[in-house]
Amino acid sequence: MKVIWQMFLQSAHIAKKRAFLTIAAIAWGTVAILLLLSFGEGLKIQLNKNRRAMGERLAVMWPGETTKPWKGLPAGRPIRPTIDDIEYLSARMPELEAVIGEIYSWRTALGYGAKVVNGRVVGTNAVYGEARKHYPVAGGRFFSDVDVSERRRVVFLGDEIAADIFGKGDPVGKTLLLSNSPFTVIGVMQKKTQMGMYGGPDSKHVVIPVSTFKALFGRERLNVLVLQVKKDDDMKMALRRVNELLGAKYGYDPNDDRVLQTWDTVKSGKITANITIGIQLFLGIIGALTLLIGGVGVANIMYAVVKERTREIGVKMALGARSAWITGPFVLEGLLYTVLGGVAGLSIAMVIIAGLGLIPADGNKVMEFLGKPTLSWQIGVATSGILGLIGLAAGYFPARRAALIDPAQTLRYE
């Protein structure tokens, strides 16, 4: 090892420009792989955040028709749970975090002063606010169980529809004419970038107590039933239990999974996670290829150096240099270029990523979905690993050629 180091130092002070170009190629590859992976990471974080904006561990169920005969009853019967089933299920399934029932009124006139907007009205129960992440802007609130039980005329607004109706002013405390009935605005939802949705984006609907909805519109059959479990693993069990309970109550086969068509965010979350892993992998491979091109550049230069120093290598062999003392300096040189290029690339990538981080994300639709490029330690480890492998290979193969030089061939003639 000592000999390798001495040989390396003796040959190191050559070809500075060539070394610089090689290092630049590696640096460029490193920047490429880091940026790609950081964008992938940012996208993953943003996707997760956006996906969770609707709420977590939810199962959204749309009541439909039976597809199997059951106890003498034919297939094709519509099954429509009602407002009462919210309480019915809550009482029998204490293991759930929340049971939500929703009734919709589409394109309902919402008026304030001279301004009238058509929007979707959702009647639901109080746990909806927490489970579906309808967090109020400071100064407002979501409605409570008391609002529901006393059938109060209170309304919670999505942020975009609030702006449509009330403009820039604070709507809380003002009176909204909902289908010509006066409602008091009690809160406006905090802005969120929502990826998953059913019926429409949360920002564009208004929410009122389900009891008030029934009194106003005279309907009590649910459009949607939503369950929230306490942890991901509970989901399967909860879905089966709901079908057993409602199947017994309404008379359908609990194994008939078309009665309540279900969107389970736990399951779709796993799919999303797999997709993001796929994207990361794809970006990583592109980055690694870019880096590989840099590595080929290093190897190329090292090959040229080996060829140039053929006679020198032959002389050293004649003087008694072992193979490792010939190859070692080349491997070191390849590694050195790679490490220097890697460090340079990392610095540049960090500056670029920090620069991109300064761009404000608010109001930037692209950024809301792509997220900000983020460096993580996993990216660092992966990049270092790839760099190290490429560096070793870029030095090793030319070095092996050097070791195979036949001194007898190189020494005799000019």
Q: Interface with other proteins by CB under 8 A: which residues?
A: 3, 6-7, 10-11, 13-14, 311-312, 314-325, 403, 406-408, 411-414
Q: Enumerate the β-bridge partners of residue 82.
A: 221
Of residues 12 and 351, the one with the C-beta less far from other proteins: 12
Of residues 9 and 381, the one with the C-beta less far from other proteins: 9
Q: How far is the CB of 400 from other proteins (least distance, A)?
A: 13
Q: How far is the CB of 279 from other proteins (least distance, A)?
A: 49
Q: How far is the CB of 306 from other proteins (least distance, A)?
A: 15
Of residues 17 and 412, the one with the C-beta less far from other proteins: 412
Tell me, rounded to whole angstroms, the distance of Cα 317 from its chain centroid: 57
Q: Are 262 and 61 spatial neighbours (Cβ–Cβ below 8 Å)?
A: yes
Of 190, 191, 194, nearest to 56 (Cα)? Answer: 194
Q: Are 227 and 96 spatial neighbours (Cβ–Cβ below 8 Å)?
A: yes
Name, in order, each residue with C-beta under 8 angstroms of 262's C-beta and a sequence gap of 6 or more.
59, 60, 61, 62, 239
Strands 58-63 and 205-209: unpaired
Q: How far is the CB of 317 from other proteins (least distance, A)?
A: 6
Structure-token match 């006066």, residue found: 182
Q: How far is the CB of 324 from other proteins (least distance, A)?
A: 8
Tell me, rounded to whole angstroms, the distance of Cα 16 from its chain centroid: 44
Give the three-class secondary structure for 199: coil
Residue 93 token pair: 């399934």
Of residues 30 and 327, the one with the C-beta less far from other proteins: 327
Of residues 5 and 20, the one with the C-beta less far from other proteins: 5
Residue 110 token pair: 């919402």
Q: How far is the CB of 17 from other proteins (least distance, A)?
A: 16
Of residues 197 and 411, the one with the C-beta less far from other proteins: 411
Tell me, rounded to whole angstroms, the distance of Cα 401 from its chain centroid: 47
Of residues 377 and 413, the one with the C-beta less far from other proteins: 413
Q: How far is the CB of 308 from other proteins (least distance, A)?
A: 11
Q: Taking the CB of residue 279, how many other CB atoms lie within 10 A of it?
A: 15
Q: How far is the CB of 22 from other proteins (least distance, A)?
A: 19
Of residues 231 and 322, the one with the C-beta less far from other proteins: 322
Which 8-state DSSP code applies to residue 190? P
Residue 17 token pair: 């420009």
E strands along 312-397, which residues? none
